[in-house]
């Protein structure tokens, strides 16, 4: 179909060249399976034989039943040699992949400076390499490195490079903006010219050094490119590659091209967040389409409008890409924010309810003290439920004591807590590698006999922010705790001049929210969700 775009994902190869990203063979297998479910057409796994991880990946990938084509990466043969004797090309063929991408020079400056060979030899290197792949029944994709810079400098030679690859049987000719410095208008003009000169289908591979990788990709598609190369979340060298999480929905929703099925498109947000977790890279909250704030609304006027019709402040329905609308409640909130959030929780509230005004004033007062609920939805839900009388106190702290000791060069912490559960006083102590860890262990130890489901989740992140910098070590701090049950995550907040007290507040909120939301009744003492509750801050 003329309006079908082939999606070439290079997260496992080009994406791993980004700073701070390192994937094991297990990581690559997991990501490849997730990418296949998303519906990408090519999954570039790396360079077979270049390192042990890639060798293992390609060996294990043979047993995966993927719809996508696992693709190997390499370069054209070495200068003044034979393709049949080139170790890199031989490894690609031996890996058994159905498709391979070879990178070759298309900028005469690079031929002379990087390869240190003649323009004629570079053409021979390209022809011989692609002819070798085709003789071995491998789908061949030519990544014309630095093409746009090369074309602007010497258009005749850059075009001759593409023709050589085409003559040798290359199935795709991919134009690369390797330095990421080309503008969308230039991309459109150049791709249009090349489209008229070649019969082989074109692809586009852009980098984000000018924050234009997505725009350049869309411009290339409008000019006739039918394969787009990029990475999930835009991972890649320097400023990254073109972000497929923006490209795919832009092409499919905005420009009426077909990239993946509608059901697969709805898995985009989940895929992006899954891969960010595997890569251990924090996902930008404001990332378009798939970010946590992509469809978040904070201003009271905005919220009031989206409650009438979401199109007033949302360019698409979030569900199309598997995301969801969020209403943030903060000191900027109006009654609409409170009403929307409460209705989301199933609370009976309207603008004429006095409790709504009281809650709004309460939230503003807490945020003035340093609380930040837009980043702590779990604490906000508990606050709202408490205000509407939906909470039952499930335990109450009577006292806690912290002991921190350094012996033999090791710092150890011990927490002693006394809590009251169902009228019974429980006194427990636990050690940890730090005060918060010790507090967490002690509280869980006290609650576990009453709420066994407390073992089904854990703390996944802990952040401390000094609110009053002038106060130095005596300044007020805000603690944010992220928790997970391996399916969902939730965030809680605590504020105090004492970091232990702030941590305790956030910790207590985390545990009580989990008991509230998990709705797991594993003992006679556990009560249904609507009866569980939390103490106020």
pLDDT digits (tens, 9 = 90+) for 20-53: 999 999 999 999 999 999 999 999 999 997 888 9
Q: Read off the DSSP letter of residue 161.
A: H
pLDDT confidence bin for 529, thresholds 50/70/90: very low
Exposed, middle or buried by CB within 10 Å (0-12, 13-18, 19+), for 418? Answer: middle
Task: Look at residue 450 and give its three-state secondary structure.
Answer: coil
Please determine, for residue 230, whether its predicted confidence score (pLDDT) is greater than 80. yes
Task: Choose among 293, 288, 278: nearest CA to 253.
Answer: 288
The pLDDT of residue 367: 74
Contact 227, 174 (CB under 8 A): yes
Which of 183, 221, 187 minimizes the C-alpha distance to 203? 221
Q: How confident is the model at residue 528, as a pLDDT?
A: 36
Burial of 368 (0-12, 13-18, 19+ CB in 10 A): exposed
Dihedrals φ, ψ of 293, to 5°? Answer: -105, 5
CATH class of 9-17+24-279: alpha beta
Please give the pLDDT value at position 338.
66
The share of the chain scoring above pLDDT 70, in percent, equals 88
CA distance from start to end of the chain: 60
Give the residue range(s) of CATH 3.20.20.70 domains in the chain. Answer: 9-17+24-279
Is residue 169 scored above 60 in pLDDT? Answer: yes
State the Cα–Cα distance between residues 255 and 247, nearest whole angstrom: 10
Percentage of the chain beyond pLDDT 90 is 62
Average pLDDT (357-363) is 75
The pLDDT-based confidence of 407 (bands split at 50, 70, 90) is confident
pLDDT score at 353: 65
- 284-301 pLDDT, tens digit per residue, is 889 999 998 899 887 777
The β-bridge partners of 115 are none
Quick one: average pLDDT of 456-468?
85
CA pair distance 371, 379, nearest whole angstrom:
10
More confident residue, 349 or 222: 222
Q: Which of 286, 244, 279, 284 is nearest to 265 (CA)?
A: 244
**Which part of the chain is CATH 3.30.160.270?**
396-531
Both tokens of 340, joined, read 């929307």
Listed in sequence order, the residues at least 6 apart from 36 whose beta carbon sits closer than 8 Å to its beta carbon are 43, 64, 66, 67, 68
* Average pLDDT in the chain: 88
For residues 207 and 249, give the distance between their C-alpha atoms in angstroms, rounded to a whole number.
19
Neighbours of 58 (CB within 10 A): 24
Q: Write the burial class of residue 143 (CB in 10 Å: 0-12 exposed, 13-18 middle, 19+ buried).
A: buried
Query: What pLDDT was estimated at residue 118?
Result: 97
More confident residue, 327 or 240: 240
Residue 165 has pLDDT above 90, yes or no: yes
Is 270 a residue whose pLDDT tops 80?
A: yes
- Bridge partners (DSSP) of residue 418 are 399, 427
d(CA 348, CA 329): 17
CATH topology for 396-531 is Double Stranded RNA Binding Domain (3.30.160)
pLDDT for position 73? 98
């Amino acid at each position: 179909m003329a309006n079908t775009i082939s999606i070439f994902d290079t997260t496992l190869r080009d994406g791993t060249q980004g700073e701070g990203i390192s994937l094991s063979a297990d990581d690559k297998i997991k990501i490849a399976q997730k990418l296949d479910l998303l519906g990408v057409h090519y999954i570039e796994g790396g360079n077979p034989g270049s390192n042990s991880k890639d060798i293992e990946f390609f060996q294990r990938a043979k047993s995966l039943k993927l719809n996508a084509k696992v693709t190997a990466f390499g370069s054209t043969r070495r200068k003044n040699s034979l393709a049949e004797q080139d170790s890199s090309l031989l490894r690609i063929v031996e890996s058994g992949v159905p498709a391979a991408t070879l990178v070759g020079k298309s900028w005469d400056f690079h031929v002379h400076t990087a390869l240190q060979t003649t323009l004629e030899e570079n053409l021979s290197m390209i022809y011989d390499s692609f002819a070798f792949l085709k003789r071995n029944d491998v789908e061949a994709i030519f990544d014309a490195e630095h093409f746009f810079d090369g074309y602007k400098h010497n258009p005749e030679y850059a075009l001759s490079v593409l023709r050589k690859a085409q003559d040798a049987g290359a199935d795709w000719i991919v134009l690369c903006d390797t330095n990421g410095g080309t503008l969308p208008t230039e991309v459109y003009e150049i791709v249009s010219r090349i489209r008229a000169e070649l019969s082989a289908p074109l692809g586009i591979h852009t980098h984000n050094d000018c924050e234009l990788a997505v725009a350049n990709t869309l411009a290339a598609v409008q000019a006739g490119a039918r394969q787009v190369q990029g990475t999930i979340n835009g991972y890649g060298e320097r400023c990254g590659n073109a972000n497929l999480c923006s490209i795919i929905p832009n092409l499919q929703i905005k420009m009426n091209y077909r990239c993946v099925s509608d059901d697969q498109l709805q898995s985009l947000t989940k895929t992006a967040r899954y891969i960010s977790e595997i890569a251990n890279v924090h996902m930008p909250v404001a990332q378009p389409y798939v970010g946590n704030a992509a469809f978040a609304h904070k201003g009271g006027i905005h919220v009031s409008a989206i409650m009438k019709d979401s199109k007033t402040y949302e360019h698409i329905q979030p569900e199309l890409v598997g995301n969801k609308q969020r209403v943030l409640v903060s000191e900027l909130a109006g009654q609409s924010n409170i009403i929307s959030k409460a209705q989301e929780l199933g609370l009976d509230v309207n603008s004429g309810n006095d409790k709504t005004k009281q809650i709004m004033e309460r939230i503003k007062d807490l945020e003035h003290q340093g609380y930040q609920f837009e980043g702590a939805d779990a604490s906000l839900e508990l606050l709202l439920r408490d205000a509407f009388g939906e909470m039952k106190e499930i335990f109450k702290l009577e006292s806690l004591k912290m002991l921190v000791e350094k012996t033999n060069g090791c710092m150890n912490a011990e927490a002693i807590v006394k809590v009251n559960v169902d009228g019974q006083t429980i006194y427990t102590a636990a050690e940890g590698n730090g005060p918060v860890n010790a507090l967490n262990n002690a509280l869980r130890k006290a609650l576990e006999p009453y709420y066994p489901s407390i073992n089904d989740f854990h703390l996944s992140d802990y952040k401390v922010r000094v609110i009053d910098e002038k106060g130095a070590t005596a300044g007020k701090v805000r603690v944010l705790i992220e928790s997970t049950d391996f399916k969902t995550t939730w965030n809680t907040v605590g504020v105090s001049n004492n970091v232990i007290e702030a941590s305790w507040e956030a910790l207590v909120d985390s545990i009580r929210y989990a008991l509230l939301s998990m709705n797991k009744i594993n003992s006679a003492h556990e009560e249904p969700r609507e009866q569980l509750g939390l103490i106020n801050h």
